[in-house]
Amino acid sequence: MKAFLIDRYGKNTGRLGEVPAPAVGAHDVLIEVHASSINLLDSKIRKGEFKLILPYSFPLVLGNDLAGVVVAVGAQVKRFKPGDEVYARPPEARIGTFAELIAVHENAVALKPANINMAQAASIPLVALTAWQVLVETAQLKRGQKVLIHAGSGGVGSLAIQLAKHLGAFVATTTSTTNVEWVKALGADRVIDYTQQNFDSVLHDYDLVLNSLGADVLEQSLKVLKPGGQLISISGPPTAQFAQEQGLSWPLKQIMRLLSLGIRRKARKRAASYAFVFMRANGAQLQHITALIEAGIIKPVVDRTFTFESTAQALKYVEQGHAKGKVVVTIK
């Protein structure tokens, strides 16, 4: 089958090539991929930024989102059948959605929302699960609380704004001048144009900050939290708790403890807490998201669509940081 793969780590690596069709385990769903989407995670994996915690082998097929049609199921699969339209973020150890076929454990798969097309569905899983696992699972965001979501026009930000509004929160976000009105239309109550204002000088007494940006923004974000507030980052630094959840070695746990020591100490000084969330595949949570999409509460945000042959260009476009929402690759 045809796939977009890398033979080594590097910023500009990647090619279309032929790889064997995947084997289907007893609990696997074999999916004909109709569309995938690009995430910054794909770029980071390609460059080797996760090689210590995700020891992939080569050739490695990239891709972390998919929408498609079930073509076969393993002997123990009960919830899906050939012909089902599905979407998923595969488990991190078995990525590879930039391909014509992929086998995914059934626990990571959900039926595709009936009211959106394959390209829109492919834009959803990773960013929506990230937003869910930060806002619902980790922060347990409650009605009336105040949340700052950085980079509101990005893939995670555009979904997180919608989910936070559904949960009843007051939502502030940061974005550039050209996207101010656009993120307001997504539901943001307060928009900070970072080219004109420093968010930490105008926002105060927030319950939660969702950070997806760099270390400087991470530290500034502590200033907007009230006592007891939570700073949750999806861009690091990772913590020892994350290392334990990943089953990493003792030395890696200590490295991650040290990497996050500074921000955790600064958070404690402000009577706040710091957590790192690394999104994981979860078909049950994706089913909740399906219900929200079918109810019109969450809408997919697709910036641009590329052909399968243009996957390298799609990756480059996302790395430039100008996409509004998600970038999709159509495979079938």
| Structural domain spans, the chain | 2-123+301-330, 126-276
Say if residue 263's pLDDT is above 90. Answer: yes
* Chain segment 290-310, per-residue pLDDT in tens: 999 999 999 999 999 999 999
Chain centroid to CA 322: 17
User: Which residue, 87, 119, 106, is CA-closest to 28?
Assistant: 106
- 322: pLDDT confidence band, cut at 50, 70 and 90? confident
The CATH architecture to which 126-276 belongs is 3-Layer(aba) Sandwich (3.40)
- 314: pLDDT confidence band, cut at 50, 70 and 90? very high
Say if residue 132's pLDDT is above 90. Answer: yes
Q: Are strands 28-38 and 326-330 parallel, antiparallel or unpaired?
A: antiparallel
**Which pLDDT value is given to residue 26?**
98
Question: Which of 49-58, 108-117, 296-305 bottoms out in mean pLDDT, i.e. has the lowest?
Answer: 49-58
**Which pLDDT value is given to residue 54?**
87
CATH 3.30.930.10 fits 2-123+301-330, yes or no: no
